[in-house]
Amino acid sequence: MDPVAIALDSSRDIYAANAGSIVEFAAGQSGNISPIATISGSNTKLISVGGMARDAAGNIYVTNVTNAITTNILEFPAGANGNVAPIAVLNESGNTSMTPPQGIAIGPGSEIFVVHGNSNPGGAGSVNVYAATNATASNPAGTLSVTPTTVISGLSTGIVNPFGIALYPNGDIYVVNSSDNTITIFGSGTSGNMAPKGTISGGNTGLNDPGFTSAMFPAAFPEP
Model pLDDT, residue 122:
46
CATH architecture, range 40-220: 6 Propeller (2.120)
Instruction: Report DSSP state, residue 97.
Output: T
Let me know the angle formed at the C-alpha of 62 by 60 and 63, rounded to the nearest 5 degrees: 160
Model pLDDT, residue 99:
66
CA 189, CA 128: separation in Å to the nearest integer?
Answer: 12
Is residue 172 pLDDT above 80, yes or no?
A: yes
CA 100, CA 111: separation in Å to the nearest integer?
Answer: 19
Residue 194 has a CB neighbour count (10 Å cut-off) of: 15
Is residue 72 pLDDT above 50, yes or no?
A: yes
103-120 pLDDT, tens digit each: 999 999 999 999 987 654
How many H-runs (helices) and E-runs (strands) does the chain carry?
0, 17
174-191 pLDDT, tens digit each: 999 887 889 999 999 999
The domain segmentation of the chain, as residue ranges, is 40-220
